[in-house]
Amino acid sequence: MAAVRPKPTLVTLLHGRRLAAELKREIRRLDETAADEGGILGPDLTVLDMYVAMLFIWFRGDLALPRLIRVAAKVRSLPVIAPIWRRHFGDR
């Protein structure tokens, strides 16, 4: 028998909204401070770039994040990563 999930309270809803707003603010900040070319930290891609690319699987396009979008696309197109990415995530 599946456990019954309690309905969220106003406090948990507001807490969730606050966390979502904080996450959006921080991801914008990461985009603003990312390098103009290459990866987030500079000319070479790092594990951070791969992690951000993975996070973009859930990105809905509701924020303007041009540098992070560019980095995610670059990671997805790497010859060693591209076939694995397509197999697991398709076009996301």
- Give the model confidence (pLDDT) of 34-66 as tens digits: 998 889 999 999 999 999 898 888 877 788 899
Place of tokens 């966390």: 19
- 8 A C-beta contact, residue 38 and residue 44: yes
pLDDT digits 0-9 by tens, 2-41:
677 767 666 666 778 888 888 888 889 999 999 988 899 9
pTM over 0.85, yes/no: no
3-state secondary structure of 69: helix
- 8 A C-beta contact, residue 45 and residue 39: yes
Copy the structure tokens of residue 33: 């401070």
Instruction: Tell me the CA distances in angstroms from 9 to 4, 6, 65, 86, one per residue in order.
Output: 15, 9, 32, 39
